[in-house]
Structure 1
Amino acid sequence: MTVLEPFGARLRRAMDERGPLCVGIDPHASLLAEWGLNDDVAGLERFSRTVVEATADRVAVLKPQSAFFERFGSRGWAVLEACVQEARAAGALVVMDAKRGDIGSTMAGYAEAFLHKDAPLFSDALTVSPYLGYGSLSPAVALARENGTGLFVLALTSNPEGGEVQHAVREDGRTVGATILAHLAMENAGEEPLGSFGAVVGATLGDLSSYDLDINGPLLAPGVGAQGATAADLPAVFGSALRNVVPNVSRGVLRHGPDVVALRDAADRFADEVRAAVAAG
């Protein structure tokens, strides 16, 4: 397998061609029930295949949440492998939402599971947690560079509990979240057209003008749709970094299933709204 073009370059092209939208694949039990599916492996497989069929040929990014597959054990992992491979074959970039974070060889093992070119779960990018120290992500950073993949590092998340860590002020007067963003800016320095090391920054957080979001990398922005944020809110939250924002919508699209046409229409509608907000911003 040849080394891929860097993730940032591939993501920039996908955003420009398909619109800057990420659709989450979150097959939790309540959503399976809404679709009339059983909370079992057959329901999991039907759900994930339907989302891929409906959206993988039109959205820039699909983001499977690994926890909802892992809960079914080895058979759930098999469904996840198929989901990733089919989504990538249809042209979508896949961000594995696994939020891995550890040190040394363990972090390297997590990276190899999702970012190594020969791994069954090989994805275009992986969400990771830096809260054992940003340096603990070094094995994942190195493997991502080697394989043309990327990372999305938790920086300013949308959950209320995150603030007690991310907004904590260090001795140098900078918050922890701002420190993570600064590390990512250094990773992406000089990269064109976009760096491969992004941040997770919630779309529900309001005015973030006190943070430097211009990291020359993508900003994965959960919170659009069911969590209350809209595409029209994005310019006020992200300011000059707006063009690099990848809003994530999960339930706002998924609730329209299992009808494939309805899922496609919902994804197209959100993509159009985001494209218009970026153009206006």
Structure 2
Amino acid sequence: MPPGHVADRLAALVAERESQIVLGLDPDPARLWPDAGGDPDPAVAVLAHCRAVIDAVAPAVVAVKPQVACFERLGAPGWAALAATVEHARAQGLFVLADGKRGDIDVTATAYAHGFFDAGGLNADALTVNPYMGLDTLRSFAAVARPAGGGLFALVRTSNPGAADLMDEPLARGGTVWERVAELVAELGDEHRGPESGLADVGAVLGATQPEHLARARELLPHAIFLLPGVGAQGGRVEDLAPAFAPGRAAGLVTASRSIVRAHEQSGGAPAAAARAEAERLRETAWALG
């Protein structure tokens, strides 16, 4: 990956492209673009589909977020397709955020991190991680990511309905579970902020489906980059996300997957043109909030 602090690199890319939109890639071999998914080998078809989607929307987005599980289910050929997808995104000048949601004890967390950040592995710019085993696991990821120039996005308050089952539970000390996680993420991220952007290398995943939490999250995480899934198919609206961008445009990344890739199913027309139009619409809407 390019040199420099990950948050500074991302902020520069956001400014250059005038976009805060992250393209989510969640390929389903049964629902690929018709022109790209004809190969009988599902991994080959998935790779062709992902390349076509990236080519269509790259000018409107700043990053890609491949959902690792969608590639892993195809076995070793799927991992090869993921690596090739990452290379293709890099060739388009895009930031690569691997959506793996990894989390385990220190030894295993370190091994996961090497697999995603090392040049001999996926060589991603950032990785989503699960912080619910505690700060020591996050530090193990950071210990590998930081020397490699990478960043982390920790799950803080997610977009799925079941998030309320645990993350919104009150604590005896006051506040909720997700607010305590936010404090830990802020503690770790503030150890390593970008000298140019002032943003931390440990960001927070906060569901766009619950925008009422964003103002409080920004109080707890003043220097974190927010990754905001749930726009489009899950019901989140870009217009409701303004608190995320308080420290600057690069402090909020709006991720959209199905609403971009399957835009043609709603609007008709060629998949590539429909995807580009939806990505541009999201880009313009989010940019206006900054």
Q: Is the 8 A contact 2:43 2:78 kept in 1?
A: yes
Report what 1:32 is aligned to: 32
1:20 equivalent in alignment to 2:47? no
Q: Give the C-alpha shift of residue 239 in structure 1.
A: 7.3
Asked if the contact 2:33–2:271 (Cα under 8 Å) also holds between the matched residues in 1, the reply is: no
1:202 pairs with 2:226: no
Unaligned 5+ runs, structure 1: none
**Secondary structure of residue in 1 paired with 2:37:** coil
| Structure 2 counterparts to residues 161-180 of structure 1, below 5 A | 161-180=162-181
Alpha-carbon contact 1:4-1:149 (below 8 Å) kept: no
Q: TM-score, normalised by structure 2?
A: 0.87
Equivalent position amino acid for 1:226 in 2: A
SS class of match (2:32): helix
- Kindly state the Cα deviation for residue 79 of structure 1 after the two structures are TM-superposed: 0.5
Which position in structure 1 is the counterpart of 2:256? Answer: 249
Deviation at 1:30, TM superposition (A): 4.6
Shift of 1:176: 1.9
SS state at 2:162 partner: helix
Report the equivalent of 2:155: 154
Which stretch shifts more, 201-210 or 141-150?
Answer: 201-210
**Structure 2 counterparts to residues 96-115 of structure 1, below 5 A:** 96-115=98-117
Q: Give the drift of 1:275.
A: 0.7
Shift of 1:9: 0.6
Give deviations 1:199-252, integer Å, cap 9, x for gaps.
0000110312444353302100001111112221212x6474574110111111
Distance 1:210 1:9 in 2: 24
CA contact (8 A) 2:22 2:254 kept: yes
Q: Deviation above 6 Å: which 4+ runs of structure 1?
A: 33-36
Cα gap change, 1:153/1:262 in structure 2, threshold over 3 Å: closer, same or farther? same
- Aligned match of 1:275: 287
Residue by residue, what CA displacement relative to the aligned partner does 1:172-204 show, whole Å, maximum 9, x if unpaired?
A: 213221122112222333544121110000011
Do the aligned partners of residues 242 and 174 (structure 1) sit closer, same or farther apart at CA in structure 2, a change above 3 Å counting? farther
Rounded to whole Å, the distance in 1 between the matches of 2:179 and 2:62 is 27
Q: Report the TM-score, using the length of structure 1 for normalisation.
A: 0.89
Matched, 1:264 2:276: yes
Q: How many residues align?
A: 275
The 8 Å contact of residues 56 and 275 in structure 2, kept in 1 or not, is answered as yes
Say if 2:5 and 2:194, in contact at 8 Å, map to a contact too. Answer: no
Gaps (5+ residues) in structure 2? 265-269
